[in-house]
Every structure is written in C-alpha cells, then in structure tokens.
Amino acid sequence: DVKVTQSSRYLVKRTGEKVFLECVQDMDHENMFWYRQDPGLGLRLIYFSYDVKMKEKGDIPEGYSVSREKKERFSLILESASTNQTSMYLCASSFDETQYFGPGTRLLVL
C-alpha cells in the first residue's frame, strides 16, 4: 500500500512565525502536491512538484513556498504565518493518474 505521511496532525503557531510542514511518501512517486482544505471551498492546490527540485505554482501559492530536495520528501513553508493561513493542509503523491493523500495537518495560526 502507498503510504504518505505528514509530520504533524495538529500544529499551533503564532502570527509571523516561519512554519514547515513535511510530507514523505514511500512509493517513489514523481509527482507530489500540497493542498489546503477549507469548508465550502473544497481542496485548493498550493504547489506541486513533478520531480526533484522542480516545482509549479498551483491556484493559491501566495504566502507559501516549497522545497523538494529528495524524491520522497516535499515540504511546504509558510514564510510568515498569518491568521488567514489557518486551515487543514493535505499532501499527496501520485502515480498512474491517481493521487494518494496523507492524513492532513490542521494548522491554527494565532
């Protein structure tokens, strides 16, 4: 089975802090994705990566950056956290058109 893990299930940070969300997949997938999920808005893509050191902006990249130094790991960085970044963050990897999701990180920015 594909396994996608995220470093934290719950996270509380203060406004202005730099926040790192880590995602690791164990299936050697080339594509990885970061989404945020908000009620009534569904999933919105922040960034995705199709190979090591390669990244593409998604629909809502503002205020975020990403890093993919190794194939199995895709990190989401909030450079200076703001309260409007309070959300559920979901990571996924994909193979053969199918995306496989991690359990999510619920981030609260105070």
**What is the binding site for another protein (CB under 8 A)?**
4, 31, 33, 35, 40-45, 48, 50, 56, 58, 90, 92, 94-95, 97-104
**Least distance in angstroms from the C-beta of 80 to another protein:** 27
Asked if residue 109 lies in contact with residue 21, where contact means CB atoms within 8 angstroms, the answer is: no
What three-state secondary structure class fits 81?
A: coil
**Least distance in angstroms from the C-beta of 41 to another protein:** 6
**Least distance in angstroms from the C-beta of 53 to another protein:** 15
CA nearest 65: which of 44, 42, 43, 49?
49
If the CB atoms of residues 65 and 98 are measured against another protein, the closer one turns out to be 98
If the CB atoms of residues 21 and 104 are measured against another protein, the closer one turns out to be 104
If the CB atoms of residues 77 and 101 are measured against another protein, the closer one turns out to be 101
Q: Which residues of 12-44 are buried (b: 16+ CB within 10 A; e: fewer)?
A: ebeeeeebebbbbbeeebebbbbbbeeeeeebe
